Amino acid sequence: MMGAMVPPAPFLRALHEAPLLLTEGSVVERLRRHPEGLLDPHVANTALLFRPAGRAALAGIYRDYRDIGLRHGLPTVLLTPTWRANSERLARAGLAGRDVFGEAFRLLAGLREEVGSRGEGVFIGGLVGCRGDAYRPEEALPCEEAAAFHAPHVEALARAGVDFLVAQTLPALSEAEGVALAMSRTGLPFLLSFVLRPTGALLDGTPLGEAVMRIDALAGARPAAYMVNCVHPSVFREGMARQLAAWPFLGARVVGLQANTSRLSPEELDGRAELDSEPPAAFAWEMARVHAELGTRLLGGCCGTDERHIAALAGELMA
C-alpha cells in the first residue's frame, strides 16, 4: 500500500499553483544610491545587519516590497541580504563567526510577523551568488569545487529557517551545477537564476535549454524551477523565444524574471557609475508583456528598480 502523500510546502504550492507571484525589486542598487554610502566593498548589504542605521535602511526597503504585495493580494517573495555572503567575503568584511544568516532570516521573518496572518503569503528565500564576478563567467568554479564552496552558506541559510533557497546572477553552467548539488543536500526547495544574453545563452555561452537539461539530469539535484535576473525584459523575451524553439520544455521550467530597467549588456553595465533606468510605467508594461507572451509568473525587479517600479508592475499585472 502506498503511504499518504505529503502535502507540498506552502512556498512550493504557491510557486506551482498561483497565477502570479511578486518578488522584490532592487535592494543592493537602492542602497548604492543612498547618500551615506552604506554598502560594504566585500559583502555589499550583508554588513548592514549589524549596524542599527543599516538594518533600519534594509527593513525599510523590504517593507516597501512586502506592502506592495499585500496591497494587491499577491504572494510575495523577499530574499535575504546575503548575495555576497560567503566565507571568504565574510572574513574580509570582519564578519567571520557572526550569525550572519540567522540575522538575515530574522530581519525578514520579523517583517512577515509584523502583518500577522496576512504574512502567510510572504515567503523568505535564502539568497546566494557566485563566488566571483557575476558578469565574468571565466571566474566561475568547476562543479565539484562549487558544491564544496557553497555548502556552508546554503546549509546555514537552511538551518536559519528560510522557506527556500535561490542562487542568482549565475553566469556559468559549471558553478550552477555545483550550487544545485549543495542546495539539494539541504532538503529545501531551491531555484537557480541565470544572466541571459539576447541569444538565450548564459554568459559562458551555454544555451539556456542545455543548461537546464543538464542540471535537471543531476541525480537528486533537480531545482524546483529556474529564473533569469539582471537583464531587461526585452532581452529575456528575445532569448526565451529562441530557446523555446529548440527546447519547448523550458516554458514549464523557467518561471521567473527579476529584470533590469536597462537595455545595456552586462559588459556595458559592469562598473557603470551612472544609473541607467527607465520609468516605472515602461518597466511595468514590458514585464506585463513577458507574462502575457511567455506565461512567466514570478516577477520582480533587479538593477535600476525601486518601490515605484514594483508598485507599477503589480498594478499592471492586476489591472
**CA angle centred on 213, ends 9 and 172, rounded to 5°:** 95
According to the model, what pLDDT value does residue 273 have?
A: 56
Query: Would you place residue 4 in the very low, low, confident or very high pLDDT band (cuts 50, 70, 90)?
Result: very low
| pLDDT top residue among 5 and 297 | 297
According to the model, what pLDDT value does residue 262 have?
A: 79
According to the model, what pLDDT value does residue 6 have?
A: 46
Average pLDDT over residues 178-202: 97
According to the model, what pLDDT value does residue 270 have?
A: 58
Cell digits for 59? 527593513
- How far apart CA 69 and CA 116 sit, in angstroms, is 14
Average pLDDT over residues 102-117: 98
- In the chain, the N- to C-terminal Cα span, in Å, equals 48
* Cβ-Cβ contacts under 8 Å for 239 (sequence gap 6 or more): 196, 197, 198, 199, 200, 201, 208, 228, 231
Tens digits of residue pLDDT in 225-279: 999 999 999 999 999 999 999 999 999 999 999 999 977 766 666 555 566 678 9
- How far apart CA 82 and CA 294 sit, in angstroms, is 30
According to the model, what pLDDT value does residue 82 have?
A: 98
Tens digits of residue pLDDT in 121-169: 999 999 999 999 999 999 999 999 999 999 999 999 999 999 999 999 9
* Domain 23-317 annotated CATH 2.60.200.30: no
pLDDT, the chain, mean: 93
* Cβ-Cβ contacts under 8 Å for 292 (sequence gap 6 or more): none
According to the model, what pLDDT value does residue 1 have?
A: 32
- How far apart CA 18 and CA 254 sit, in angstroms, is 15
Tens digits of residue pLDDT in 7-21: 568 999 999 999 999
